[in-house]
């Protein structure tokens, strides 16, 4: 099933980089930029994360939060946050249940090898928990401006 704009966003039940429990319900009343990326501290993922970091004031001014999701564990997320000064939450999805629920766990290929992994995407979820914008296979550089535009629309 592919998610559509206007759908109720699938619930999230996981932990963040500090081992705290996180649900999507925790953010009702705020817009959420939920972005999925393949791996902490890789070039494209760092570009995307630092882009959200650099526009963080504009995001918070729009009454929004950023939640990054990857299959990395809490220790890896904490190191990524510390290394790049990321001011937002990264969610643990080692079993890719969240990625599955959002339809972003799929077949990928690199250098002729096919494997399963996270398809770089983002979702903007409104304060009522409904999907307001979707970008699948978004570029790391374009993700930030597109998500911010959806939040401020």
Catalytic residues: 45
DSSP string of 46-89, one letter each residue: HHHHHHHHHTHHHHHHTTEEEEEEES--HHHHHHHHHHHT--SE
Q: Tell me the β-bridge partners of 35.
A: 68, 122
Q: Do the bridges between strand 64-70 and strand 31-36 make them parallel or antiparallel, or are there none, so unpaired?
A: parallel
């Amino acid at each position: 099933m592919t998610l559509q704009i206007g759908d109720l966003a699938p619930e999230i039940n996981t932990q963040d980089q500090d081992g705290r429990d996180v649900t999507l319900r925790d953010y009702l009343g705020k817009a959420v930029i939920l972005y999925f990326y393949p791996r902490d501290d890789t070039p494209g993922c760092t570009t995307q994360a630092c882009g959200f970091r650099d526009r963080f004031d504009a995001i918070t001014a729009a009454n929004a939060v950023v939640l990054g999701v990857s299959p990395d564990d809490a220790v890896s997320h904490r190191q990524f946050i510390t290394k790049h000064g990321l001011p937002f939450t990264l969610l643990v999805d080692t079993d890719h249940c969240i990625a599955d629920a959002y339809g972003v766990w799929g077949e990928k290929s690199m250098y002729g090898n096919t494997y399963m992994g996270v398809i770089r995407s983002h979702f903007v979820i409104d304060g009522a928990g409904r999907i307001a914008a979707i970008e699948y296979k978004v570029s790391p550089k374009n993700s930030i401006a597109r998500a911010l535009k959806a939040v401020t629309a």
